[in-house]
Chains A and B, each alone.
Chain A
Amino acid sequence: MPNNIAVDKQGRIKNRASMSDTNLLLTITILVFFALYAFAVFFLGGSFTKPQSFLNILNNNASLIVLSCGMSIVMITGGIDISVGAVTGLVCMCCAVYLEGHGGNLVTALLIGLGVGLAFGIVQGFLVAHLGIQPFIVSLAGMFFAKGMTTIVSKEPVRVTNESFLAIKNIRVTVPGLGAYNSKTGAYIPAYVEIGVLIALAVVVIMFIVLRWTKLGRSFYAVGGNNQSANMLGINVRRTKFLAHVLCGLLAGLGGILYFLHVGSGDVANGAGDEMNAIAASIIGGTLLTGGVGNILGTFFGVLSLNTIKRIVSSMGFDEAWWSNITVAAMICLFLVIQSVVLIRKNKKRV
């Protein structure tokens, strides 16, 4: 059957080509991050030279890293989940209200957080994969629902005073070999990361391994690259899409917990706009919304680049909030154009 072979062949060619796309875009992302940081260190100096200020980027964005990992996975399968930011806020609020208002214990609170995320993932995954509804509409409804529920759970900000929670929140893990001398007292201050960063890094490593070397991870790419050929290869497309959304929901729950550990309170504004930051980080990291192309490592560097450029802009004297937004937008624009030019040229060459 020549027809079948052709399709198979096409699928394989496409798959191989998209892998090299992945690597190309990843390389660009990592290079840009190092270029940005080197620029900051050489031309702006100041706080950028201190190791702590680099680690603070991680400290402040542990949650975003985890969210972006989930977002990348869904984007690799060709979907999108714009509910993650709102779910983060809802998880924070639920945990905070449970710990403060109901005097609950920490473990249950964290389980509630994960459960909320998982529930969102399962419902959205079912609607997308099994009922065939557009992921954008489904997660749009999810975002609305999470935003509304957050204010229904509590309108007022809830500050958590639970002791065991504060004990975990204030854990500082010192990084050996890094540190700086205080310019006034001369005392050595070791650089530290918060506990959330370790969890986020673990998530990055685990997801990297899952995407690269497990059957599930490979089927994410296959489904995103070409639905039909994945189906012909014997991959259960629906189940794969469903699992991608469940994973994303779970990571959104975990991201919410990390956000909660970082800020220590429940607030309606928590996680607002993080879905767009996560999408931006994924795009900068070389993930294509059309699916099939992407890399968790790139996403990680995407988060770092995004926040490095925000800090560069603010330390260059453009303090107003709007400059940070405009530069982020310019950065997304730049990366989109690079991606599109690279892909268009590649396609032409192949033809």
Chain B
Amino acid sequence: MTTETKTPVKKKSRSVGEVLKNMTRHQLFIPVAALVLLVLFNLIADPSFFAVSLKENSLGNPVLSGNIISVLDNASELVLLAIGMTLVTASSGGQDISVGAAMAIAGSVIIRLVCGGRVSVDTMQTSLILAVLAGIGVSMLFGAFNGVLVAYLKIQPMVATLILFTAGRSIAAWINNNQLPIVNDQVFKYAGTFIPGIPIPTPVFITILVILAFWLALKFTNLGLYTQSVGINANASRLNGLDPKMIKLLTYVILGACVAVAGFIRVSRSGSINYSRIAENIEMDAILAVALGGNALGGGKFNIYGSILGAYVIQFLTTTLFKYNVPSTALPAYKAVVIILLVVLSAPVVREKMSHIKKSSKRAKEVA
């Protein structure tokens, strides 16, 4: 997707240093390096981290369990959000901070339809597909609301989405009259847990499907090209016949659809919803995933696979910290240290300084 992935055509034999330099320059260097570090740390500290076993769950189905499976499973929502967030970041040069609240809205709509206004149901009142489609529709509408504010009224994305960030969870509570309905129908929980007979968690399949859809869309449509060109220079792309406003709006609507699927997975995991706590702080993780994937938060070029990798790295880190009994409330402090280390290492100023030091040490050697 990016020009950086092109390997140089020159067939000159390159020194190890040059290869290393090219590697560190690659956009995916940071997330891959972080992942390798985490894997190494876990291998050395406790290799049993990677153990995967087949166990029976409470319903008597044999399912895979283990830390790796839990990383793949729990990262699903984050991956979906990171994909949408990457497009939004690329086109508008800003981030949507309302995704967590919008997930609450989408989840609330789905639960409301499935429960039909009752507090607890054993069988779904509306067909699941209809409920999910409605959730996606509502979520896309809210995405369009953000998109209009950003694209047509030219409000900075973070501020524009602050509106939904503030109101979203309240709207979600209002949709269900502030009740906390519970869905006991097992079919509803298939999407968030396991389908009987399949030992792999369903969210993993959903994520793969969505990634596949985006891969196809980026390969066979101009979505990626247009998004990048609008993000790099909106005026120039307008002069070239694109409609930057429409494209920005479109990316927000796409994010809305991703958010709805993520919200559906989240409510499907437990069959219930807690408006103030569902997907709390997930917007921060999603933005972090985009940054970790080597995408400029100021817009322009993007690499969607970097963000996906970034999302898995974040979940890997979370699971690792959980394994070492870090309380979930203290988790943010550790995450913050990792974030700062990563962004400091990838800051252009620091990189320049580091290469400068290398060069001068080389020169010193030559002189000697």
Contact = CB atoms under 8 A, between A and B. Distances in A.
A137 B343 contact: yes
Interface string A318-351: 0011110110111011001101110110000000
B156 A290 contact: yes
Contacts of A151: 327, 329-330
A141 interface: yes
Nearest to A290: B156
A336 B149 contact: yes
Contacts of A290: 156
A91 to B, nearest CB: 15
A131 interface: yes
Contacts of B337: 145
A342 B70 CA distance: 50
Nearest to B95: A136
A134 B336 CA distance: 15
Given A145-B337, A325-B166, A340 B154 contact: yes
A148 B334 contact: yes
B178 to A, nearest CB: 7
B39 interface: no
B333 interface: yes
A237 B288 CA distance: 27
Contact of A152 (B95, B159, B333, B340): B333
A108 to B, nearest CB: 24
Contacts of A130: 349
Nearest to B298: A134
Instruction: Count chain B CB atoms within 10 A of each CB in A80, A289, A329, A332 and give the residue with the most.
Output: A329
A276 interface: yes
Contacts of A280: 162, 166
A133 interface: yes
A147 B335 CA distance: 11
Contacts of B331: 148
Contacts of A333: 149, 163
A55 interface: no
Given A283-B159, A321-B170, A336-B159, A127 B336 contact: no
Interface in B141-176: 149, 153-156, 158-160, 162-167, 169-171, 173-174
Contacts of A80: 158
Interface string A101-142: 000000000000000000000000001001111101110111
A279 B329 contact: no
A140 B284 contact: yes
A328 B173 CA distance: 16
Nearest to B173: A322
Contacts of A127: 340, 343-344
B197 interface: no
Contacts of B284: 140, 143-144
Interface in A145-191: 145, 147-149, 151-152, 155
B336 A325 contact: no
Interface string A273-291: 0001001100100000110
B155 A336 contact: yes
Given A289-B156, A326-B170, A336 B163 contact: yes
Nearest to A149: B333
Interface in B293-318: 297-298
B93 to A, nearest CB: 11
A268 interface: yes
Nearest to A277: B166
A160 B339 CA distance: 34
Given A132-B349, A134-B297, A144-B333, A279 B159 contact: yes
Contacts of A337: 153
Interface string A251-275: 0000000000000000010000000
Contact of B344 (A133, A268, A326): A133
Nearest to A333: B163
Given A133-B347, A329-B163, A332-B166, A141 B171 contact: no
Contacts of A279: 159, 162
B166 A140 contact: no
B65 to A, nearest CB: 28
Nearest to A123: B340
Given A137-B291, A279-B159, A325-B167, A268 B347 contact: no
Contacts of A289: 156, 158-159
A190 B288 CA distance: 52
Nearest to B338: A141
A141 B170 contact: no
B88 interface: no
B246 interface: no
B348 interface: yes
A329 to B, nearest CB: 3
B54 to A, nearest CB: 36
A329 B162 CA distance: 8
Contact of A344 (B154, B164, B327, B335): B154
A90 to B, nearest CB: 10
A283 B347 CA distance: 30
A148 B344 contact: no
Interface in B277-298: 284, 287-288, 291, 297-298
A140 B163 CA distance: 18
A131 B339 contact: no
A132 B156 contact: no
B96 to A, nearest CB: 12
A340 B155 contact: yes
Contact of A148 (B287, B291, B336): B336
A23 to B, nearest CB: 21
Nearest to A336: B155
9 contacts: A80-B158, A133-B347, A134-B297, A140-B339, A144-B284, A279-B162, A326-B167, A332-B163, A333-B149
By Cβ-Cβ distance, the 9 closest A-B pairs, closest first, are A148-B333, A322-B170, A329-B167, A145-B336, A144-B332, A144-B336, A151-B329, A325-B170, A148-B332
Given A136-B297, A340-B153, 14 more contacts: A130-B349, A132-B348, A136-B158, A136-B287, A137-B291, A140-B287, A141-B339, A148-B330, A268-B329, A279-B162, A280-B166, A322-B169, A322-B174, A333-B163
Interface of B: 95, 149, 153-156, 158-160, 162-167, 169-171, 173-174, 178, 284, 287-288, 291, 297-298, 327, 329-337, 339-340, 343-344, 347-350
